[in-house]
Amino acid sequence: MCEDKSVMMSRRTLLAGGASAALALPVLAKDMVDLRLPGGPSLRSLDPAFPGKGKLIVQRVHPPLLETPFSVFDQGVMTPNDQFYVRWHYPMPTEIKVTDFRLQVRGAVKAPLSLALEEVVKSGEIIELAAVNQCAGNGRGQFVPRIPGAQWGPGAMGNAEWRGVRLRDLLDKAGLNADAKFVRFGGLDEPPVPDAPAYRKSVPIDIARRDDVMVAFAMNGEALPLLNGYPLRLVVPGWYATYWVKMLSDIEVLTSEDDSFWMAKAYRMPTVPVKPGDKDFPTTPIGAMVPRAWITNHADGDRIAAGKPIELRGIAMGGDCGIAKVDVLIGDKILCATLGPDEGQYGFRRWSLTLPDAVGPIGPRCTNVKSVSQPLEQDWNPNGYARGGVEFISLVQA
Ligand SMILES: Nc1nc2c(c(=O)[nH]1)N[C@H]1C(S)=C(S)[C@@H](COP(=O)(O)O)O[C@H]1N2
Ligand SMILES: [Mo]
């Protein structure tokens, strides 16, 4: 955990660009996935050339945007580290020297801290919980009309067991001043040009002091993969991953709302209904996630045998709380799915159902313990955030 770790971008990533087209084509043809985005382009290559990663869908090479192939979610409720999606706004360091690493806690505190990794790990009780890390723009490529930005299919998410120390313990160690209102987080990645705003995110002090908000050093029982934020990342269970700052090196306590770019301009949701083309509507920073459910063992357009029952399997998430139920809508029928074991309110939960037939579009609909159900229509917003409507698929009887 606390030993020196250096990971370099694989030479293959660099060499791939130099391969001749004749050689590259058959490889691409074999290792392509079709994200079935409305209107396309939908084909992406699968590439195992990133450090600590197996085959992921390459949305962008550098800074990496790597999507988890959806079939991974059918294999288990936890997402393996080597298949966990990756999203960086700016180039990140490709090597971390743990001996040089320090986490700063500063700003509106009585005694600023500069902690070595080992001191962070020993700063309080170690806690562990399962939680879904989901990009606010997960599924952006599925919106109609289409929206600019990373054209994610549905795999910009993953569920892991996170282990770390409470952020609150670190804040209390530094001693919050009475006027502390927000806490801002920054990582080791830097903008490639001097004028671009550093990636920093902040949360209100009551969120920062929550019992389950942690500075994590492990994921599924192992050190964080470099691309998922080694050596430390913030985990805000139930909130979109934009707040889960990776390679966390700076915690700054603020006495007023953060007016820097990534809070004041980006990652904001309209507070009123909007339609394509609307301008000048009020917005607020995105925060808690919404309930969602997916079928994992069939994709839209799959062929199935006619006249036979259909086994459906899937996953669901409550958003910022647990799941009360998953219904499956088919034609004018609503059937109640069987839920798998509860492995934590912030994690994925499996569900299953056997349908007598597949006449009509099929859509799983999650209701969380706060009685929030997924809408039947996809809400549209100009950034393609927080997709949450029922995801219908149609199966073709053959
Ligand atoms: N330091 C840093 N942390 C970051 C980001 C980033 O660009 N830099 N991107 C955020 C966003 S928008 C997402 S979706 C998640 C992605 O987490 P992952 O790469 O571990 O899947 O990291 C978040 N934390
Ligand atoms: Mo994101």
> Mutation test of ligand 1: which of 60, 68, 85, 87 has the most ligand atoms closer than 8 Å to its C-beta?
87
In the three-class reduction of DSSP (H, G, I as helix; E, B as strand; rest coil), residue 313 is classed as strand
Ligand 2 centroid, distance to 244 Cα (angstroms): 9
pLDDT of residue 22: 31
Domain ranges of the chain: 95-126+161-285, 292-397
Kindly state the average pLDDT of the residues 73-78. Answer: 97
Sheet holding 349-355, edge to edge: 292-295, 310-317, 349-355, 338-339
Mean pLDDT lowest among 21-25, 137-141, 348-352:
21-25
Mean pLDDT lowest among 6-10, 172-176, 217-221:
6-10
Span 274-322, pLDDT tens digits: 999 999 999 999 999 999 999 999 999 999 998 899 999 999 999 999 9
Confidence at 357, pLDDT banded by 50, 70, 90 = confident
Q: How far apart are CA 15 and CA 7, in angstroms?
A: 17
Of all atoms in ligand 1, which is nearest to the CA of residue 234? 24
> Mutation test of ligand 1: which of 66, 81, 86, 88 has the most ligand atoms closer than 8 Å to its C-beta?
88
Span 317-349, pLDDT tens digits: 999 999 999 999 998 899 999 999 999 999 999
> Identity (one letter) of the amino acid at 323?
I
Kindly state the average pLDDT of the residues 229-247. Answer: 98
| pTM for the structure as a whole | 0.92
Mean pLDDT score of the chain: 91
For the chain, percent of residues with pLDDT exceeding 70 = 92
> Mutation test of ligand 1: which of 220, 243, 246 has the most ligand atoms closer than 8 Å to its C-beta?
246
Ligand 1 centroid, distance to 362 Cα (angstroms): 32
**In terms of CATH architecture, what is 292-397?**
Sandwich (2.60)
Domain 95-126+161-285 has CATH 3.90.420.10: yes
H/E element holding 207? helix 205-208
For the chain, percent of residues with pLDDT exceeding 90 = 86
Nearest CA to ligand 1 atom 5: 88
**Protein residues whose CB sits closer than 6 Å to any atom of ligand 1:** 84-89, 133, 135, 187, 189, 199, 228-229, 241-242, 244-247
Residue 178, pLDDT > 60, answer yes
Ligand 2 centroid, distance to 135 Cα (angstroms): 4
Residue 59, pLDDT > 50, answer yes
Residue 18, pLDDT > 60, answer no
- Long-range pairs, 119-123, Cβ under 8 A, ≥24: 120/165, 120/170, 120/215, 120/217, 120/232, 121/1, 121/2, 121/165, 121/217, 123/165, 123/169, 123/170, 123/173
Instruction: Say if CB 319 and CB 237 are below 8 A apart.
Output: no
**Could you tell me how far CA 259 lies from the centroid of its own chain?**
24
Of all atoms in ligand 1, which is nearest to the CA of residue 63? 7
Span 3-14, pLDDT tens digits: 333 333 333 333
Q: How far apart are CA 281 and CA 304, in angstroms?
A: 46
Q: How far apart are CA 133 and CA 89, in angstroms?
A: 16
Span 92-126, pLDDT tens digits: 999 999 999 999 999 999 999 999 999 999 999 99
Instruction: Say if CB 235 and CB 216 are below 8 A apart.
Output: yes
Residue 398, pLDDT > 90, answer no
